């Protein structure tokens, strides 16, 4: 933006034309390509429709397998351009978190017969402007059959999305699912873990939802999560009953990483998990908030993990 001074101030907020912008975008692509032109990282570049238009038709990206466009200004129009690019046919990992994509854009992509991105294995859509309205269409779409990892956290995914995932027949390869900071309650959990997709999951992040003891007990008792290695249940108002169910679960015996911080259980529930006789494969157990940022306390055997802090009982000066 330019400012012309002299009497009255005039502001020039005109954007460069595509022809003027093209050399800069091409140069950025050139300098950002990694690993024999297969990885392109462009986060926080303020890229919007014009830049994405140029990127999507650049011959430099025709070997790219990993594209990081997180934290930009990508909206529905730019998403459509990306999804129909003839230069990104080899793309396998697409990171679009923290952008401005809405339900309209996702629904169009999900229902499109013109999408060229048929080989996407990992997709991050977290922290956009999506709700159940479009996420149900996405989960039911036949455009993402190769998807192995899906991050749709930090948005308005709720029980309808959980139910759609539970009954979906179009995500046969999904192994990793992130629904952190969503709106899934116990009934949503029942639907989510009740279908074929749950049987293939190896990582499930459902931190900061609202399913409580009932949801934790459902997870502990299902036989559909036997392949699960990583489970994040932090911040779900889980009390002693839910914690005990997890600690005594015989169905979750394959877990290697379990995150239970910021919940409501006390020493009784914490001991049930810490002294578990069934979760014998655990390498990482988080029971207390803040431990995940302190590497020395992550070890499952450490007594510091025994119980979560109780805000009403803890002494700030201790």
Alpha-carbon distance of 167 to 194, in angstroms, equals: 8
Helix (H) or strand (E) holding 81, with range, is helix 76-83
The reported pLDDT for the residue numbered 290 is 59
- Residue 315 pLDDT exceeds 60: no
220-244 per-position pLDDT tens digit:
999 999 999 999 999 999 999 999 9
Q: Walk me through the domains of the chain, giving residue ranges and CATH numbers.
A: 16-156 (3.80.10.10), 201-310 (3.80.10.10)
**Residue for token pair 């907020």:** 13
What's the whole-number mean pLDDT along residues 6-13?
51
Spatial CA neighbour of 204 closest among 243, 246, 153, 238? 153
Q: What letter does residue 177 receive in the DSSP assignment?
A: E
Measured from the Cβ of residue 312, the count of other Cβ atoms closer than 10 Å reads: 5
The reported pLDDT for the residue numbered 288 is 81
202-223 per-position pLDDT tens digit:
999 999 999 999 999 999 999 9
- Residue 134 pLDDT exceeds 50: yes
Measured from the Cβ of residue 60, the count of other Cβ atoms closer than 10 Å reads: 16
The reported pLDDT for the residue numbered 271 is 93
What does the mean pLDDT of the chain come to? 89
The reported pLDDT for the residue numbered 23 is 93
* Cα angle 17, 32, 154; round to 5: 85
The reported pLDDT for the residue numbered 289 is 65
Share of residues in the chain with pLDDT > 70 (%): 86
When pLDDT is cut at 50, 70 and 90, the band that residue 295 belongs to is very low
When pLDDT is cut at 50, 70 and 90, the band that residue 115 belongs to is very high
In Å, what is the CA distance from 166 to each residue of 46, 196, 208, 228, 278? 36, 7, 20, 16, 26
Q: What ranges make up the beta strands (E) of the chain?
A: 2-4, 10-12, 33-34, 39-41, 66-68, 93-95, 122-124, 149-151, 176-178, 203-205, 230-232, 257-259, 284-286
The reported pLDDT for the residue numbered 308 is 39
Q: Strand 33-34 to strand 230-232: parallel, antiparallel, or no bridges (unpaired)? A: unpaired
Do 227 and 273 form a contact (C-beta atoms < 8 A)?
Answer: no
When pLDDT is cut at 50, 70 and 90, the band that residue 312 belongs to is very low
Do 161 and 103 form a contact (C-beta atoms < 8 A)?
Answer: no
The reported pLDDT for the residue numbered 166 is 96
The reported pLDDT for the residue numbered 36 is 80
Q: Which long-range contacts (CB under 8 A, 24 or more apart) does 33-39 make?
A: 33/60, 33/64, 36/63, 37/63, 37/64, 38/63, 38/64, 38/65, 38/66, 39/64, 39/65, 39/66
40-50 per-position pLDDT tens digit:
999 999 999 99
Do 47 and 72 form a contact (C-beta atoms < 8 A)?
Answer: yes
13-17, 66-70, 80-84, 108-112: segment of lowest average pLDDT? 13-17
What's the whole-number mean pLDDT along residues 109-137?
97
Do 108 and 134 form a contact (C-beta atoms < 8 A)?
Answer: no
When pLDDT is cut at 50, 70 and 90, the band that residue 16 belongs to is confident
4-8, 258-262, 265-269, 307-311: segment of lowest average pLDDT? 307-311
- Residue 129 pLDDT exceeds 60: yes
Do 51 and 73 form a contact (C-beta atoms < 8 A)?
Answer: no
Alpha-carbon distance of 114 to 120, in angstroms, equals: 15
When pLDDT is cut at 50, 70 and 90, the band that residue 13 belongs to is low
The reported pLDDT for the residue numbered 10 is 52
What's the whole-number mean pLDDT along residues 184-204?
97
């Amino acid at each position: 933006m330019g400012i012309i001074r002299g009497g009255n101030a005039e502001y020039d907020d005109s954007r460069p034309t595509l022809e003027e912008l093209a050399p800069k975008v091409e140069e950025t692509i050139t300098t950002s390509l990694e690993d024999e032109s297969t990885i392109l990282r462009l986060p926080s570049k303020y890229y919007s429709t014009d830049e994405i238009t140029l990127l999507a038709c650049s011959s430099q990206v025709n070997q790219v397998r990993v594209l990081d466009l997180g934290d930009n200004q990508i909206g529905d129009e730019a998403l459509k351009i990306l999804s129909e690019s003839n230069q990104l046919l080899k793309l396998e990992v697409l990171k679009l978190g923290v952008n401005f994509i809405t339900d309209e854009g996702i629904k169009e992509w999900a229902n499109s017969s013109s999408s060229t991105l048929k080989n996407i294995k990992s997709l991050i859509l977290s922290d956009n402007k999506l709700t159940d309205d479009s996420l149900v269409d996405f989960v039911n779409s036949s455009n993402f059959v190769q998807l192995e990892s899906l991050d749709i956290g930090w948005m308005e995914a709720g029980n309808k999305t959980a139910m759609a995932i539970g009954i979906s027949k179009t995500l046969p390869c999904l192994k990793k699912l992130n629904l952190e900071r969503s709106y899934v309650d116990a009934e949503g959990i029942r639907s989510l873990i009740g279908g074929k997709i749950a049987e293939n999951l190896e990582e499930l992040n459902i931190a900061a939802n609202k399913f409580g003891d009932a949801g934790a007990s459902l997870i502990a008792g299902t036989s559909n999560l036997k392949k699960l290695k990583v489970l994040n249940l932090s911040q779900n108002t889980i009390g002693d009953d839910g914690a005990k169910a997890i600690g005594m679960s015989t169905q979750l015996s394959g877990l290697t990483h379990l995150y239970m911080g910021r919940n409501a259980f006390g020493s009784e529930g914490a001991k049930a998990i810490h002294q578990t006789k069934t979760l014998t494969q655990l390498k990482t157990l988080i029971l207390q908030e803040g431990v995940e940022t302190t590497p020395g306390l992550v070890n499952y055997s450490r007594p510091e993990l025994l119980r979560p802090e109780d805000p009403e009982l803890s002494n700030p000066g201790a």
